[in-house]
Amino acid sequence: MSPAPSNDDFLPTRSSLLSRLQHASDAAGWREFVDNYGALVFQVCRRSGLQRQEAEEVVQETITAVARQMPLFRYDRDKGSFKAWLGRVTRNHIADHYAERSRDAARRVELPEAQRDAIASGGAVVAGVCEEMEVAWESEWRQHILDRALRLVHGQFPARAIQIFQLSTVQGWSVEQIAAALSLSRPQIYLARHRVGRVVKQEIARLRKELE
């Protein structure tokens, strides 16, 4: 693909959705994009230490960065994953917010000029944020995909089966704890967990292929 000149090199995701996003008037397409990725970006921002308002600003900045690329978007699978590009854009905007915090602090405190300039650059803060954000991004992405997969399979199984899977896989309860809490036998728990888990695994694989 050949993106517009920018620090945020654009990489491919679902060609159907990104092709729709080339048209700014496609409100449904942008709603789908925000539904797929907005909460993920927000959670990573909050986990990185940004305040709610700052996190909301980063979400908007990220959406704007995507919109800026759309007019010249051309799909190229060999360029890499959209997940990696979106993570880089998000990390850059988070770092920008921390650098601005450092500059504000430096302006408010009387310091020697050299020290003030070092703080204002925000280099150490930004480096630390970027390192932590890499870990946060991967963790939140996995949780994001799991949450979406669970929503998609929710109507395919009884509520009790979904509850068993969530208690076991998501919350880490033992079979004994689940059996005692729900008054079920171990075979019932194993069976429900296996059935739901098999379909969730399929949905996760599909979502990763579709969204990454």
CATH class of 157-212: mainly alpha
pLDDT surpassing 90 at residue 179: yes
Can you give the chain as a three-state secondary structure string? CCCCCCCCCCCCCCHHHHHHCCCCCCHHHHHHHHHHHHHHHHHHHHHCCCCHHHHHHHHHHHHHHHHHHHHHCCCCHHHCCHHHHHHHHHHHHHHHHHHHHHHHHHHHCCCCHHHHHHHHHCHHHHHHHHHHHHHHHHHHHHHHHHHHHHHHHHHHCCHHHHHHHHHHHHCCCCHHHHHHHHCCCHHHHHHHHHHHHHHHHHHHHHHHHHHC
Greatest mean pLDDT range, 12-16, 71-75, 112-116:
71-75
pLDDT surpassing 80 at residue 193: yes
When the pLDDT of each residue in the chain is averaged and rounded to a whole number, the result is 78
pLDDT digits (tens, 9 = 90+) for 61-99: 988 888 787 777 665 666 667 788 788 888 888 888 888
Out of 7-21, 37-51, 65-79, 90-104, least confident range: 7-21
Q: CATH 1.10.10 region(s) of the chain?
A: 157-212
Of 11 and 128, more confident: 128
